[in-house]
Amino acid sequence: MKTKVSILPTNMHMNGPGHPESPKRLSTLEALFHKLAREGRIQLSDTAGDTPEDGLDCVFRIYQETHSREYITSLLFREVPTGTVVRLDPDTGFSEGSRKAIIACAKAVETLLQHRKTAGGIHFLAQRPPGHHALRDRSMGFCLVNHAGALVRNILQMDLDARLAVLDFDVHHGNGTEATLRDLNRCLFISTHQYPFYPGTGSGKDNRIDSDGGGILDLPLPEGTDDDDYRHVLREKILPRLEAFRPTDMILSAGFDGHRDDPLGGWLLTEEIFMEIGQSLPPLGCRFIASVLEGGYNSRALSRSVEAYLTGIG
Ligand SMILES: [Zn+2]
């Protein structure tokens, strides 16, 4: 089954000059996706290039269970002078186009939910900004709204038989996603991340196994983690837990900043392991697998890693 890839407009949201979370990340991926589509290896989704001018209702609808109404309102109605960037926290900027970027993300998540309702399948959403650090009431670590959390909450609500597994393989702990999913049934959250490291959470002390097999599995791994180390954790810890839970759907927080060439992370992963992560997903038998882009700040390494991951999953 060919992966359906959606790429959102690259340069609406700005963090300011010299910031690692830059439009170049997506423009490099855009070139990759067009190449892969020409080669017949992926299918570009219809939402590509969509730049909705409206859609405030869509943002509230999609993110209402994940973020407070006050927080969403504060983002959507924030006044930012043209050409400037407001800092929401030391790492996270907000520009005039950020509001449009949030609307585009909400529409893309809504499209994914429609796919889930009809045909299912394998999907990859390439969007900026990333989402897995965004908390209920505040932005954090380059993230404004939490796409993975919103997908899970919406799917669990629309299908009472759904069992959702989230795997967050970004080098940073998915603290925002874990916080929004912490109290849900029929949901298993797994995160591998460098530890100790930003954002400081994910030590493993919150791990639990629910009676339905869900719960939380934080797998902190030290600086210097390489493909062999990660492969061991994938085979010995992650896949057995997923197989025991028997998810109907999988949401991947697909962060590639664990790559050895990434300027932010301290891991030594290569494209090989991202391919293996991708290969391990279809055999789990889920009807819907959706990956959303998180980190990855060396655009060449990001492009090679995403290509390997899509090759593995497709
Ligand atoms: Zn990251």
Q: Which residues pair with 57 in a beta bridge?
A: none
Structure tokens at 147: 């796409």
Domain assignments of the chain as residue spans, ordered by start: 3-313
pLDDT-based confidence at residue 82 (cuts at 50, 70, 90): very high
Question: In this predicted structure, what is the pLDDT of residue 19?
Answer: 96
Whether pLDDT at 47 is above 80:
no
What is the CB neighbour count within 10 angstroms for residue 283? Answer: 10
Q: How far is the CA of 11 from the centre of ligand 1 (A)?
A: 20
Say which of 13, 67, 115, 133 is annotated catalytic. Answer: 133
Q: What are the C-alpha distances in Å from 66 to residues 16, 59, 81, 88, 180?
A: 27, 11, 28, 19, 6
Give the lowest-confidence range in 50-59, 112-121, 131-140, 241-250.
50-59
pLDDT in tens, 251-270: 999 999 999 999 999 999 99
The sign of the torsion formed by the CA atoms of 69, 72, 74, 78 equals: negative
**Residue closest to 240 by CA, chosen among 185, 289, 284, 193:** 284
Non-local CB neighbours of 47 within 8 Å, separated by 6+ positions: 6, 8, 107, 108, 111
pLDDT for 10 equals 84
Cα of 161 from ligand 1 centre, angstroms: 31
Yes or no: say if 122 and 3 are a contact pair by the CB < 8 Å rule.
yes
- For ligand 1, the distance from its centroid to the CA atom of residue 225, given in whole angstroms, is 15
Active-site annotation holds for 123: no
* Identity at 261, one-letter amino acid code: D
Class of domain 3-313: alpha beta
Taking only the tens place, the pLDDT of each residue in 83-139 is: 999 999 999 999 999 999 999 999 999 999 999 999 999 999 999 999 999 999 999
- Using DSSP, state whether 143 is helix, strand or coil: strand
Reply yes or no on whether the pLDDT at 175 is more than 80.
Answer: yes
What pLDDT is attached to residue 85? 94
- Give residue 54's pLDDT band: very low, low, confident or very high (50, 70, 90): low
C-alpha dist (Å) from residue 40 to 1, 58, 272, 289: 11, 32, 22, 20
pLDDT of residue 1: 75
Cβ atoms < 10 Å from Cβ of 72: 22
pLDDT of residue 48: 43
Residues surrounding ion ligand 1 at CB below 5 Å: 170, 172, 255, 257, 295
Å from CA of 234 to ligand 1 middle: 18
The rounded Å distance from CA 146 to ligand 1 centre is 13
Give the pairing type, strands 208-209 and 215-221. antiparallel
b or e along 138-165 (b: 16 or more beta carbons within 10 Å of the residue's beta carbon)?
A: bbbbbbbbbbbbbbbbbbbeebeebbbb
